[in-house]
Structure 1
Amino acid sequence: MVAPSVHGVIRRKPFGDRRNCTEGSRPPPPLSGRDLISALPDAVIHHFFSFLPIRDVVKTSVLSKRWRPTWTNTTDLVFDGFDGYFEAPPGSPLFFPSIVDSVLSQCTFPTVKKFHLTHFNYDEADRPKIDLWLQFAVRRSVEDLHLRLSNWSWSFYILPEFLYCFSRLVRLAVGMCCFSLGATIRWPCLKVLSIEDAELSDDFLKRIFRGCPVLESLASSRCRGVNNIIIDSLCLKELVPVGLGFGSYVEKLRAPHLLSLRVIGVNHAGFRLDDVSSLVEAELDFSVESWDPNSKGRDLLKHLLEKLRGVPTITTGGWCLQFELRQESEERFNFDEEDFLCSRKGNIECLVKHLKRVEIVGIEA
């Protein structure tokens, strides 16, 4: 194969070189020995840091002189007690509180976007130290705060007063923490709130909605003390009750502007809907204890499906479709599904007119 040059001289192209046959193409330049990652802007490097646990972020300081101070300007601080430090004895540099103290003392950036403290086995003696860590986060104007503690002695951390009026929060998640139920909430920027293992009340829930005017998503897991959930907010779009506290019953849920409802977890036997007329999607993936002699799970599923019959999209999990029956109850609930459908003309008409898609996921189904 031949090609003319600019001056009309005939030159032969190298045999087999088809990658550079396009006119004007150039082979890639040879890689230099320069460290291209270290040449990246700090903002890009900090973005990489946001995907790493803090112990790996700190380790980058040994890569080169360029990297040595970089981690101290990170805006994402994620401390997880499962990262191998929780087994270290007190006084060890690998003791989890010592790691947190050391990192915070070296952080120099004036603002922190994310501060997560999870799986820390809390004891009452740790309260002053956690108070100091939260004060650090507040001083650095944190927007995303997670405080999910572990507790083998069931000693709950009491949230400090200064946290209730911290105006910069956008996302807040707390677990094994105790609220002051008489406190006034002022979280004007909060959009996402998650509460696990806490004692609440109907009145305190109202305080949360009043103090969070732009709240969009609320998730509560194993929270006791709430009997009526009344949500008049136009901003709240998603509610996720993940397992009610033992012995708790939500007698009424009224949220006329809610768009998404996810009922998941266990112990939802007493969960009842009142007004959820704006829902566009619902997820039902709950279970009731198999020893329940009154078949509350079946009654709950019937109640929810009746209340949600106008919702365009309903997702059901395997839990709420499978109930373990006692031997004396088997005959009562044993029926021919085909005969059941065909004997009820209205059921078939409803399916034909409205049902557009059925998706069965998982081999269990």
Structure 2
Amino acid sequence: MAETSIHRKSSGNRPNRTDKTNPSLPPPLSPRDLISALPDAVIDRIFSFLPLQDVVKTSVLSKRWRPTWTTATDLVFDGEIVARLRSTLDFSSLVDSVLIQCASPTVKRFHITSFEYEKAHRLKFDLWLRFAEGHRVEDLSLRLLLTSETPTLYILPRSLYCWSWLVRLEVWVYCFSLGRTIRLPCLKILVIAISRLSDDILEGIFRGCPVLESLELWGCWGVKNIMIDSTSVKELVLCNLCDSNIQKIWAPHLLLLRISGDWQPHAMLRLSDVSSLVEAKLDFSIRVLTDLPSDEMMCSHMLKETFQKLCGVTTITIGAWCFQVQARYFFTIL
């Protein structure tokens, strides 16, 4: 009798695996329900990591997602990707189509990359920048491509110099017009590449950008002296200034200096005052046109003076060319 009692007790407590009404199990959810249940904030976050072309394609995954891409706050157009996709629309037509359908009141990022700019595109480009202005873009990147040996530089509209909400600006193949007052109170990062500048333009930038933290100049020309009296600018990057004639850098509040790429022959770059530097990277090379010892000696003297100015810097990174020139000069004097 005892064995029978025990057997009945265990049988009564055994769960019924065929009982589909077990309240302890959650109801099954289909993948379709999971996608539809995503909140708008999560969808927007996912879209921010995808190329715009892929964002548009996601509209076929869910009916609810079809109009969602039109509210994307990151609009990044890459001409190389569009060319690989072999779209029926050319690059400029694709940009126009997306901007017309954009329903977001504000756009955080607006990037135009690898666009072959010609003079005939000026009016279209003006309209794109008017869109960026109307949507208060915070991160603006405009990378144009050179289409000939005598490229046409796009002159930035005067309204761009007064965008009070702009935080990051990157421009390639542009011309900053003289005599324009620059007032960019929120700009922190500025990247200028393959553009014509001057000492006066740089001075106006530093004066009109009170919170600017980082300045990068890539392949620019027209500047002779970089004078940074701003206390907010902490990083200066100079790259591929083979057509430049920069002679002096005066930046007593600068913390990070990076000089790289090719520089023009007989470059006489001098660090005047960089007393606050904590990190410097010298990874540039000067294309010496002759094999005369005097030319190499001149480069060695310039590097020697540069290293003397950096004697108190905590971290210094030296590239191959700088190291070789200094090494040859050291063994020569021995």
Give the TM-score range, shorter chain.
0.7 to 0.9
1:262 aligns with 2:262: no
Is 1:127–1:157's contact at 8 Å kept on the other side of the alignment? yes
In the alignment, which residue of structure 2 is the partner of 1:346? none
Are the structure 2 counterparts of residues 198 and 48 from structure 1 closer, same or farther at C-alpha, using a change threshold of 3 Å? Answer: same
8 Å CA contact retained: 2:111, 2:142 = yes
Give the direction of change, closer, same or farther, for the CA distance of 1:34–1:187 in structure 2 (3 Å limit): same
- Contact 1:158–1:177 (Cα < 8 Å) also in 2: yes
In the TM superposition, 1:92-107 aligns within 5 A as 93-107=88-102
* Superposed displacement of residue 174, structure 1: 0.2
Report if aligned partners of 2:225, 2:246 keep a CA contact under 8 Å in 1.
yes
AA partner of residue 72 (structure 1): T
Aligned runs of 1:1-365 on 2, under 5 Å? Answer: 32-35=29-32, 36-85=34-83, 93-153=88-148, 154-246=151-243, 248-267=244-263, 269-293=267-291, 294-295=295-296, 296-322=298-324, 333=329, 335=331
- Tell me the secondary structure at the aligned position of residue 69 of structure 2: helix
Distance apart, 1:320 and its partner CA: 2.7
Deviation at 1:37, TM superposition (A): 3.7
* Cα distance in 1 between the residues matched to 2:202 and 2:242: 15
* Cα distance, 1:318 vs structure 2: 2.6
Residue pair 1:85, 1:94 contacting (<8 A) in 2 also: no
Aligned equivalent of 2:5: none
User: What is the aligned length?
Assistant: 307
Gaps of at least 5 residues in structure 2 are 1-8, 15-23
Deviations 1:218-258 (A, max 9, x none): 00111111111111111111011112251x32222111111
Structure 1 residue 30 displacement after superposition:
8.3
Distance 1:72 1:291 in 2: 55
Judged with a 3 Å threshold, the aligned counterparts in structure 2 of structure 1 residues 121 and 186 are, in CA distance, closer, same or farther, namely same
Q: Which has the higher contact order (CA 8 A, sep 6+)?
A: 2
Cα distance, 1:38 vs structure 2: 3.8
Counterpart CA distance in 1 for 2:251 and 2:92 is 42
Q: 1:65 to 1:244 in 2, by over 3 A?
A: same
How far apart are the structure 1 equivalents of 2:113 and 2:25?
47
Q: 1:343 maps to which residue? A: none
Q: 1 CA distance for matches of 2:52 and 2:254?
A: 37
- Name the CA distance, whole Å, in 1 between partners of 2:74 and 2:25: 37
- Local SS of the residue matching 1:117: strand
Structure 1 unmatched ranges of 5 or more: 1-8, 15-26, 341-365
Change (3 A) 1:210 1:34: same
**2: CA distance between counterparts of 1:82 and 1:28?**
50
Distance in structure 1 (CA, Å) of the matches to 2:330 and 2:279: 31
Q: Give the C-alpha shift of residue 76 in structure 1.
A: 0.2
Distance 1:336 1:165, change over 3 A: closer
**Counterpart-to-counterpart distance in 2, 1:336 and 1:158:** 50
Kindly indicate whether the alpha-carbon contact (under 8 Å) linking 1:181 and 1:200 is maintained by their aligned counterparts in 2.
Answer: no
With 230-239 and 287-296 compared, the bigger mean Cα shift is at 287-296
- Cα deviation, 1:97-118, whole Å, max 9, x if unaligned, reads 0100010011101000000001
C-alpha distance in structure 1 between counterparts of 2:25 and 2:262, whole Å? 59
Q: Relative to total residues, which structure has the larger helix share, 1 or 2?
A: 2
Name the amino acid aligned to 2:190.
L
The residue type paired with residue 313 of structure 2 is V
